[in-house]
Amino acid sequence: MQIRKTALFIGVVYLVFGINAAEPHHPLRPTPGKPEKGFVPDGKAEDGCMGHHLTRELGLNEEQQLQMCNINKELHAELSKLNEQREKAKILFEQAMAQERPDEQTALDAFDALYQINAEIVRVRIKSRIAICDLLTSEQNARLNELRNQMHNRRRNYKPRPKTGPQSANP
């Protein structure tokens, strides 16, 4: 009896994994292992450019798509650099505060450095957003703001589902 259950379980596992392995890739997603970059179905592009969803929603022409791609690539590069700097500054601040008797000037200097990097991140995002607004028509800007508001409302109203099952029980 135990052998039959084990054989049945193994058969189901092979069936499930076999179906998933045989499933074709999404037509917009590049084949795994290839260095090509492309768009994925959820509207985000793998190369930092705007995905098909927003391109379609905003009605971007090819020139706008190219300029938007360049803006997003520059933003990504600047934010990557600033995020690295922020992590280093955060570590220095945490180290300064972790001392048994933190030196006030050292802690404040570390805080100021962290604050300046955070301010620069916000500044870069604002400049990028303005560059995008300058690129779009007034109708496209209105639609982009509408889409942003929808996204913010979804995030604001998000309520995670309660966990069910044995992992949700507290001993």
User: Which pTM was predicted?
Assistant: 0.62
| Residue keyed to tokens 């507290």 | 170
Q: How far apart are CA 96 and CA 89, in angstroms?
A: 10
Residue 155's pLDDT band (cuts 50, 70, 90):
confident
Domain spans, the chain: 50-155
End-to-end CA distance of the chain: 34
Q: What is the pLDDT of residue 163?
A: 80
User: Whole-angstrom Cα distance, residue 169 to residue 66?
Assistant: 52
Token pair 């889409």 is found at: 147
120-149: average pLDDT:
95
pLDDT (tens digit per residue) in 62-81: 999 999 999 999 999 999 99
The pLDDT score that the predictor gives to residue 25 is 36
Q: Indicate the SS3 state at residue 39.
A: strand
Where residue 9 falls among pLDDT bands split at 50, 70, 90? very low
- How large a percentage of the chain has pLDDT more than 90? 55
Average pLDDT over residues 78-97: 97
CB 38 within 8 A of CB 28: yes
> Both tokens of residue 121?
């991140």
- Give the list of residues 6+ apart from residue 103 with CB closer than 8 angstroms, or none: 96
Which tokens belong to 28? 């917009």
Three-state secondary structure string covering 47-72: CCCECHHHHHHHCCCHHHHHHHHHHH
